[in-house]
A and B are shown apart, each in its own frame.
Chain A
């Protein structure tokens, strides 16, 4: 369970203070497939970053499974991310010098998982995302869709509680984007991992089982849908 309570985040842009989030409150249950929607500058990415423990808030509190993550120091946040969170980025953010296999397995190496288990889990997740036979390819030899599949595999291979995806389909054509969303849906169902993804694309929103709308740093809608 993720609890976001009265979260405030301000940014300084020169002399001006930009209020990115103005007291956002939200509860996200385990296993949700939730989309944070809103136009550019509405605070979607900021909210994702705060839940993902890669940014610090100026007010309010975020707890994950009762742990007040927003109060953690830098080291504890990193440790929390390492064990509990997976990330999918708009621009995939794969390590260019590593192969598909190595990009995925690297996450398990950070966790000091035994080498044999790393191999088993990596091969299995790559099969799940449909990349069998492409393990040795480096990102520059893969399409955008394939790269995002690696990113999904990388996010899921450590069995995280939560996967955060910032505009995961924004760099893909609509067909590939839909494939990625279906894959994320499938993984959500299969592993019961909480998926939180931001978007401003209507098609992407349609895949969410819960749609939280943000506008000017405030929640303007919270809609639950049938799967």
Chain B
């Protein structure tokens, strides 16, 4: 019987193709939007996680325990001992890479004026294991250790009208709370994926930063990449390092450092709810269509009821029609959403203008992240929600008295 009803449902859909198409399109647009929306949010989350891990915090960040408390005062003296940390981390199997970093606020003395910028001291030889610096190099080369050279963000270089080979003097506060200046040559210009890094940062060799900032062998932070379970590793690393160095350390997983990352994680859950509303909105078209169809086919309902069809079977008939439309609509919607996601996942969406001036660890070009499981779940979810929505008007068919239905004009 169910097979017969499915057959009838299919044929009824073709009765008014335009209307069925409209209902199908509504479900398709909703499904497509959800697939893309979820992929975009996942892409943002992945991108931010990647940027945080590569440029800002690592997957696990190690700092002096007091640093965060005094961070707003730029406590350059609150360092960690790089050599002892290096020795301890080298023994850990869950650690895949780690780099020392020194970040310092500074001013570029250019054309008789001071321009604020953020300096970053890095061990470029180690950075090669941590990130692909060559790929973001737009012009020139990576600075060499022991040389007064810098790798500058492309936007900062443009704003300050600096080109390769130019020499510029930098002023900053030191760990000894004095001021110091150093003249650096632009060795390379980098196109960092993150807008804020592009417009504010310049990178110099770690040894020159330590010398310039009077930090001896200390570093401000060590960024670590681990195999998995960042939070668990952070706790284990903290325990081991504190025992090995005798220092109080602040060791945190990246998820617990960036507030914006936390917001994105929250946004992901919010978008799941928005997804439901998208579909409910699309389902209103199906509800409306089914309602119209029921009134249009009132005599038919009366006839089927007179022939002995029970209310449940009548509900099933209209429910199946809605389900078939939902299934077809959702299939094409998910397919289209997947196609759009894969296309944009390859070529990206350029948010350079929208993100300019926004200090977020997010790339200017975002790549939606497609997942086959998300597509399957969205498909099932779309069919279930839209079909259940059809159940509301379909139940009306079961409540109609046959004598009234047969009289209906």
Cβ distance B16 to chain A, nearest Cβ, rounded Å: 11
| A97 and B14 contact, CB distance less than 8 A | yes
Cβ contacts A39-60/B at 8 Å (1 or 0 each): 0000000000100101100000
One of B15, B305, B406 near A89 (C-beta < 8 A): B406
A201 within 8 A of B: no
| B305 and A93 contact, CB distance less than 8 A | no
| A49 and B403 contact, CB distance less than 8 A | yes
Q: What are the 7 closest A-B residue pairs judged by CB atoms, nearest first?
A: A82-B308, A97-B11, A93-B303, A54-B402, A55-B403, A109-B4, A81-B308
Contacts of A83 in B (CB 8 A): 308
Cβ contacts A160-181/B at 8 Å (1 or 0 each): 0000000000000000000000
Residue of A nearest to B10 (CB): A97
| Contacts of A63-86 to chain B: CB distance below 8 A | 74-75, 78-79, 81-83, 85
Cβ contacts A88-131/B at 8 Å (1 or 0 each): 01010101111000000011011110000000000000000000
A sample of 28 inter-chain contacts (CB < 8 A) reads A52-B306, A54-B305, A54-B306, A54-B401, A55-B401, A74-B311, A75-B311, A78-B308, A78-B310, A81-B307, A81-B308, A82-B307, A82-B309, A83-B308, A85-B308, A87-B303, A87-B307, A91-B299, A93-B302, A93-B406, A95-B303, A95-B304, A97-B12, A98-B8, A106-B307, A109-B1, A110-B1, A110-B309
Contacts of B305 in A (CB 8 A): 54, 78
Residue of B nearest to A99 (CB): B11
Distance, CA A157 to CA B229, complexed state (A): 70
| B1 and A95 contact, CB distance less than 8 A | no
Contacts of A107 in B (CB 8 A): 307-308
| A96 and B15 contact, CB distance less than 8 A | yes
Cβ distance B343 to chain A, nearest Cβ, rounded Å: 39
Distance, CA A112 to CA B302, complexed state (A): 20
| A98 and B11 contact, CB distance less than 8 A | yes
Distance, CA A106 to CA B313, complexed state (A): 13
Contacts of B303 in A (CB 8 A): 87, 89, 93, 95
Contacts of A49 in B (CB 8 A): 403
**A54, A82, A112 interface centre (most CB from chain B within 10 Å):** A54
B300 within 8 A of A: yes
Cβ distance A176 to chain B, nearest Cβ, rounded Å: 21
Cβ distance B383 to chain A, nearest Cβ, rounded Å: 23
Contacts of A109 in B (CB 8 A): 1, 4
Contacts A54-B406, A89-B406; A95 near B309 (Cβ below 8 A): no
Cβ distance A109 to chain B, nearest Cβ, rounded Å: 5
One of A81, A93, A97 near B15 (C-beta < 8 A): A97
Cβ distance B263 to chain A, nearest Cβ, rounded Å: 53
| A112 and B1 contact, CB distance less than 8 A | yes
Contacts of B304 in A (CB 8 A): 95
Contacts A54-B402, A89-B406, A93-B299; A110 near B11 (Cβ below 8 A): no
